Structure 1
Amino acid sequence: MRAHGSPLVIGHRGACGYRPEHTRQAYELAFQLGADFVEPDIVATKDGVLVLRHENEISGTTDVASRSEFANKRTTKEVDGVPVTGWFTEDFTWAELSTLRCRERLGAFRQASASFDGQYPIMRLTHLFDLVDHLAETTDRELGVVAEIKHATYFESIGLPLDELFADELQQLGWQDEPNRLVIESFEKGVLRKVRERGIRGTRIYLIEHEGAAFDLVARDGEDAVSYADEIGEVGMYGLATRQGLDAIDGISVDKSLLLDASAESGTTDLVDRAHAVGLAVFTWTLRPENKFLTTPFRTEGEKGSFGHWQNEFRTIMSSGVDGVFADHPDLALVVRDAVASQ
């Protein structure tokens, strides 16, 4: 993994600015556009197959709501302490889930991607690793995967331990010892430890929200759970960096709002510098060019789906020294990365 140089460009759920997220076509396009790594979100089916979806609730990313044969599977569950209504991957077998077709989650702003709605099936995790291995044979670039394990505490509570399922699949694929090509990330540190316990060697990245606390800590400590904000404070950051053995992490991945500061001369906070000072890499998410997703100083007048001053925001983020950026349009991120590198 590249550190403290030009940042890795990671195709966020593939090139999801151009194709429905988590489809084979989105991942293929991300690498064609020059992405270094791609990022799948990993959840499980009823029969323990790992599949790639933004969430385990799939009404916004598939055609399941229009499929009358699955109408009886609509339900309400509590996921990470939040009531959610819809259709859930863990209520489907892989055979059932594979009959669904993907939809663009942000169709109101991504008409180009939404024009492919209904054309592509859901991918299994094994399909993605096979794809990366195949594409790596056709290029001299090192292609990698940033695998995000979603809702680990929740899935374990229903008898689907994602760490075990993930480790089993990677060992079968021969990806268990790929520290340069494999990054494992989660909003829960506990599952990062469990995956390492099962012999999977990869860069371990702890995802950090701009508010709240990790659900594995909330499940254990309730209201006393340490917040994400405290975990990346002066004391907390040192604590993350000095974790040892199976508990060690290699870096953090933060909401871009934690990096951007319009009042600072550089336009960014000191978070990257503080993390680097204690030996942690820093990734950030998500670089998107549309006004709706840009921070206020970089928006323009016009529609939410229109592109704003995205190059300025991307440049500010990359100039912070960040080690990796997640981008829905990898080609746009690469344009800015190359410009920053040439300065």
Structure 2
Amino acid sequence: MEDGWWVRRAVLSVLLVVGIVTAVYAVVQVRSGSPDAEADDVAAPPTYAPSAEVSDGPLRLGEPLVAGRYGSPVDRPAGTMESFDIAMAAGVDHIEARVALTQDDVLVVRGDIELSTTTDVAEKAEFADRRTTKVVDGESRTGWFTDDFTLAELETLRAVEAEPDVRLDAAEYDGQLSVIGFDTLLERLVEVSQEQGRRIGLFVEPLEPAYFRSERTPIEGPLGQALRKARLTNDRERVTIESDDVSVLERLEVNLGDNVLTALVVNPGNPDLLTPAALEALPDTVDAVAVAIDSFLGQDAFALSDAVHAAGYALVVFPISFENDRLVSAFTEGPDPAGRGDLKGQVRALRLIGTDVILAEAPAEVIALNDELAAEEAASSAPAESPAEG
């Protein structure tokens, strides 16, 4: 790989803690030398600036990028074309998709390799005999699995909302929208990019690579073929591959080349992967770290952000949405998981700690709030006009 920031390019992730509003503001005041750290009215804090020794790199543009996580799942069931269309129409910088392998060794867009929670497969009499039990990632699971269906069969299924008690609007479209193939999504991504006159990027996570490698065929091959077919690998830094398995990222790095970024996913329960020593020890084939918010509860958000940036990675956080179920406790409002919380406060905190990419499940609202906060910061930092001399 090339020298400089291109070698240590990056992405993904950040964290918020219980009581982050108080904690973030307190740290900002200490860093900015505020003499009144306990004032009731806290002045708007300055925008985060990377450490001087950390050079900017991929996905580090000084302002957070916004990606539509599985499209816009607050509006339509996740992973459907309609969900992705809403996100792209809202102006996302990237879309994010999860993909699984089919019986005919192509890729389908789904959030899980087991289909019963996100489709109407259980209602299809013709597929009743496909219900089976498999061991996936060391866990016994019973249901209908993508690799027991051809893509043509999967496209006859209709999507359902996996969290109907939280995603009320999306659940209204249960049974109406088709399951789609990954090739179809990539064609649409290229088409919309051309229509809008801009380059929309892609985050993609191949699901259960160890399972497919042992039971069928490595998922990395069909993923690379699909990206090449859509000519997305020709564009530098347009595609970011995500996985919690470093070996998967290493294989795809070799297969696809330096134009494609890679991101190590850190799920809840693995905070040791975010220590400065662990980040520095990641192989050069890893370009980014993607971290779930819940991985950081009780942690120092600024310290974690600084560690990610100091190791040469961009900082990305997921998932971000307006429901209480998705917000950290400092931003929830009321006990209803589907109730609307303080999304603006959440986005403000992400900006404060230097988030580079926000993986948003309510992308239109996150984009609007991100722009609004940027304007507020610009206004608050603008020099005051001198009164006109008489």
Q: TM-score, normalised by structure 1?
A: 0.88
Residue 285 of structure 1, CA deviation: 0.6
The structure with higher relative contact order (CA 8 Å, sep 6+) is 2
Tell me how far apart the structure 2 counterparts of residues 257 and 315 of structure 1 sit (CA, whole Å): 18
Query: Which of these two proteins has the greater Rg computed from alpha carbons?
Result: 2
Q: Which amino acid aligns with 1:150?
A: L
Residue 269 of structure 1, CA deviation: 4.0
Per the alignment, residue 215 of structure 1 pairs with none
1:301 aligns with 2:343: no
Per the alignment, residue 355 of structure 2 pairs with 322
Tell me how far apart the structure 1 counterparts of residues 63 and 344 of structure 2 sit (CA, whole Å): 16
Per the alignment, residue 223 of structure 1 pairs with none
Answer whether contact 2:67 2:95 (CA < 8 A) is retained: yes
Q: Which amino acid aligns with 2:356?
A: D
**Which structure 2 residues correspond to residues 219-298 of structure 1 after superposition, within 5 A?**
228-240=270-282, 243-244=283-284, 248-259=285-296, 261=298, 268-298=301-331
Residue 302 of structure 1, CA deviation: 4.4
Tell me how far apart the structure 2 counterparts of residues 167 and 26 of structure 1 sit (CA, whole Å): 24
Give aligned-pair identity as a percent.
30
SS of the aligned residue for 1:71 comes to helix
Answer whether contact 1:185 1:192 (CA < 8 A) is retained: yes
Tell me how far apart the structure 2 counterparts of residues 234 and 175 of structure 1 sit (CA, whole Å): 33
- The answer to which of 18-27 and 191-200 deviates more is 191-200
Q: Which amino acid aligns with 2:272?
A: D
Equivalent residue in structure 2 for 1:156, among 213, 236, 261:
213
Residue 318 of structure 1, CA deviation: 2.5
Answer whether contact 2:276 2:308 (CA < 8 A) is retained: no
SS of the aligned residue for 1:338 comes to helix
Tell me how far apart the structure 2 counterparts of residues 154 and 86 of structure 1 sit (CA, whole Å): 15
**Which structure 2 residues correspond to residues 11-50 of structure 1 after superposition, within 5 A?**
11-50=68-107
SS of the aligned residue for 1:176 comes to helix
Per the alignment, residue 197 of structure 1 pairs with 254
Tell me how far apart the structure 1 counterparts of residues 182 and 277 of structure 2 sit (CA, whole Å): 37
Cα deviations by residue, 1:275-304 (Å, 9 ceiling, x for unpaired): 111211121110021112222221112422
Answer whether contact 1:12 1:39 (CA < 8 A) is retained: yes
Answer whether contact 1:13 1:38 (CA < 8 A) is retained: yes
Answer whether contact 1:75 1:87 (CA < 8 A) is retained: yes
Cα deviations by residue, 1:192-242 (Å, 9 ceiling, x for unpaired): 11112223431111100121xxxxxxxxxxxxxxxx3332212111112xx
C-alpha RMSD of the superposition: 1.6
Cα deviations by residue, 1:248-281 (Å, 9 ceiling, x for unpaired): 21110001134565x86xxx34111111112111
Tell me how far apart the structure 1 counterparts of residues 339 and 93 of structure 2 sit (CA, whole Å): 26
1:68 aligns with 2:125: yes
Per the alignment, residue 218 of structure 1 pairs with none
- The answer to which of 31-40 and 104-113 deviates more is 104-113
**Paired residue total:** 318
Answer whether contact 2:87 2:363 (CA < 8 A) is retained: yes
Residue 4 of structure 1, CA deviation: 5.0
Q: Which amino acid aligns with 2:66?
A: V
Tell me how far apart the structure 2 counterparts of residues 340 and 320 of structure 1 sit (CA, whole Å): 14
Tell me how far apart the structure 2 counterparts of residues 83 and 210 of structure 1 sit (CA, whole Å): 21
